[in-house]
Structure 1
């Protein structure tokens, strides 16, 4: 048919011209450059390592330097079973599904598919002739579809936004890994530190109990005054009184670990047994770590990608200012069983324009809203980097100063132990009263407690430093993020296709350069 051929050629020419003239509205997002970060390298970093040429510490599994199998087991379990981390993994799956929906907008969409049929039976009688039965049937099938051309980049920006949201969800899941690993290690060593504090308290209580029994025997024999007896008794009971509070802390720390493990309060096998001491750590080397490492922290990556999400929304909003061109088509077939009319076949195709001319400023207002939100995201990105730098500085100085304090406290405890030894000797020889012994016992207990608490604080500072550097996250697939029982339950509800097997990007740098989710 010549008419249809001319129409088809015209549509092809129109489509080609429009595609050539297509543009993408809105800003092309580029991650902000932070000039101050280039020169930011605090001098205290060099003081943390004895070897100035030492390479940067391996961040991916920093907890291995503690050489503690129980800690390794706990972290492995948390990464596998923590409910909050599973929710973050499901958010990654959701973001991937949204990205798939955004990409589907590039293709023609079915607008309507309909079919109808009717069967009528009626009985006619005019009162003179015998009644007759009539049967009548009709049918109608129709399909219409439309394809909106991405003339202004609405769909391209929507895909860009969805892709950035997907990348942000992956970065957020990794940031949660960093947080949970650090929390697990911190609580674990807080538990071990408290165990050792209980042991110190029990040991000092045993020493003070012997002193109390000796003074009671001397008092009963009339060789000592009641004052020495009551002072020895007071010190012994005061030490005993510290133990219940420490034991309460042990249970609370254990419950906190159970929460991270996604379990109800109960004993934990990895905590069974006692330790003689906390691990001795070599100096942390940071001289070789560039300040740019801050930008690779998962939370910073999340903030950067979230700004990319919002940047693309400006283009989506601006596209509403201009006409949307679509190619429409419809197909229909209808007929009836009486043969009164012949079966009909209809076909129609052509362009359609949609344009919100009378928007009364609503669309422009929405563009401004999206731009304001982008600026909020950019300011939030700057704030995230500032906070990251602060956390690194705070943790680094804590590592440095707790290490310095540890050397002093070690000498102080040794001096207190020697003073107690001399006080006991002079008391037995009659050159000093019992109060000197009690004072020396109290000093030794206090110094041993301070040394242990500072040692625990040093380990906590090392953990905080690795957390501040964004270390510890492991690249995971969706199958790693979401346990098999949950995946199986979801498969029974919905067909997820190949979503589980699709790789998750490892590198999340350069937000705004096109993404890397595909």
Structure 2
């Protein structure tokens, strides 16, 4: 657009075209130029957001020093081989599963009230007298105690029912969490595939619009077309370039959405790669973590079926 503006100025100075062409070219050029500051503001804000996520003060990002770096992508073959067990890395599914297990144990504890409770009681005492010659006396008492809520059968039964209803509620929540995760994964996969298809079409569209602009400029310089054809070609080319960039952003967003939906990527990754070495060392010095900071992620498969539950034994 800047080049077109300069050409129209020279042609106007030589008397080959009217001032209208100059003003139209100037309007088009300045309109595009005025959009750059807002884009720079957005870019700076995004960089600062990345700094905050990385735990850094606002500043330059060495990772983004290469402005022509490759955009994140995922091979379609990798999407076909994603194991369902990766869903277990999602915090929401883990929380839901542990809540079900904990509530299942509460049913066992409630049922334990149906049975008698036996406890062992003991006392130890020591007494002495201030009289000379009086011996000190020690006492020891030991015996069992039996308690049984014989007359609270109805209350205990209702409590068991309440705990079971809460368990069913949590099971439904767990199943919903798994279904929601599956939906997010499928949505992201579809977006990745479709934006990639759109990218190929837009690539051809961008080439065609740029070629059209070249022809319009050439015909205008040769006097076979008015400047309106050039303006139309510039707008069409800018529109296709913008659509292509929006598509690239949508594709990257879909890849990121899939990464998040799977709880951190589409491949099993050791814990060591998630927790930096210096952070692991600090945590180990502060608390005994055992092998939890180095052990692999738990194996298993996520499904919409109820997670395994175990009732607490009445003997516990």
Equivalent in the alignment of 1:245: 38
Root mean square deviation of aligned Cα: 3.1
Change (3 A) 1:293 1:444: same
Equivalent in the alignment of 1:512: 308
1:331 counterpart SS class: strand
Equivalent in the alignment of 2:271: 476
**How many Å apart are 1:360 and its aligned residue?**
8.7
Contact 2:73 2:255 in 1 (8 A): no
Q: Which runs of 4+ in 1 moved over 6 A?
A: none
**How many Å apart are 1:359 and its aligned residue?**
4.9
Contact 2:87 2:263 in 1 (8 A): no
**Is residue 2:256 matched to residue 1:463?**
yes
Cα distance in 2 for partners of 1:423, 1:329 equals 103
User: What is the aligned counterpart of 1:500 among 279, 286, 289?
Assistant: 289
User: What is the aligned counterpart of 1:347 among 140, 152, 156?
Assistant: 140
Change (3 A) 1:270 1:466: closer
TM-score by length of 2: 0.80
Cα distance in 2 for partners of 1:345, 1:480 equals 59
Count of residue pairs brought into register by the alignment: 297
Change (3 A) 1:264 1:363: farther
Gaps of 5+ in 1: 1-207
Q: Which moved more, 1:302-311 or 1:355-364?
A: 355-364
**How many Å apart are 1:415 and its aligned residue?**
0.5
Equivalent in the alignment of 1:391: 184
Equivalent in the alignment of 2:226: 433
2:20 counterpart SS class: helix
Equivalent in the alignment of 2:304: none
Change (3 A) 1:315 1:448: same
Structure that is richer in strand per residue: 1
Change (3 A) 1:358 1:502: farther
Equivalent in the alignment of 1:286: 79
Contact 1:301 1:509 in 2 (8 A): no
Contact 1:423 1:436 in 2 (8 A): yes
TM-score by length of 1: 0.51
Contact 1:212 1:236 in 2 (8 A): yes
Contact 1:258 1:266 in 2 (8 A): yes
**How many Å apart are 1:373 and its aligned residue?**
1.2
- For residues 306-354 of structure 1, the C-alpha deviation after alignment (integer angstroms, 9 at most, x for no partner) is 2111111111122234332111223233325544631122222111123
Change (3 A) 1:257 1:284: farther
Gaps of 5+ in 2: 302-306, 311-316
Contact 1:329 1:347 in 2 (8 A): yes
Cα distance in 2 for partners of 1:350, 1:330 equals 9
